[in-house]
Amino acid sequence: MKKSASPRVSKSAERITAILDVLQQTYPNAVCALHHKSAWQLTVATILSAQCTDVRVNLVTPALFKTFPTPKAMAAATLPELEELIRTTGFFRNKAKSLQGAGRIITEEFHGKVPQTMPELLRIPGVARKTANVVLGTWFKIADGIVVDTHVLRIARRLQLTKQTTPEKVERDLMRIIPQSQWIDFTHRIISHGRQVCIARKPRCADCPLEHLCNAPDKTFSSH
């Protein structure tokens, strides 16, 4: 069905609340899809998730963590050893260097423990704001920012919560309009929504619980 003309949606407090309420009702138990048992494992898994699916990462990490279970062990690993274990995640040479470097920095500068602040996390090789936000929010429950992956960026633009196109700018826009108390859950729920309903190539708008709040130009269905 062709989308009928409708007024531009707003970023009003009422609309934001409605979006957050729908996400909470639809995905009440949404969590990070990367398997991990520690902040270190989550850091490694998130580094590996760049340009790779979480499903693939979860297939790779058990053997990786068994072979190199600690930052110190990862730092001592050779690049060929790491590359072989993570080859199927893509960009494995750069990722191997990042993992080796992350193990070294965490061992030498942070006494073997993943730090709990954004500035410290950003000193770790392979860690940018997205990875740092994942670790802070998912493991430490610290809402320092909002994770902006491909799902969050796409859906934030479709819902007209931002006009920006870079993760950093999208994150700034979202932090201004989403209550900080919901930053962590918002991320998990939007990612779940992006995987299950608001799919990149063909969004399932007819099945979308947010459809009545969305005026995206690429909608495949509209009840407006």
CB burial string 11-28: b at 16+ within 10 A, e below = eeeebbeebbebbeebbe
Instruction: Let me know if 130 is a catalytic residue.
Output: yes
CB proximity list for 21: less than 8 A, separation 6 or greater: none
Instruction: Let me know if 149 is a catalytic residue.
Output: yes
Residue among 54, 95, 130, 219 flagged as catalytic: 130
CB burial string 58-83: b at 16+ within 10 A, e below = bebbeebbeebeebeebbebeeeebb
Residue among 54, 95, 144, 149 flagged as catalytic: 149
- E strand or H helix that includes residue 192: helix 183-196
| Residues annotated as catalytic (active site), given as ranges | 130, 149
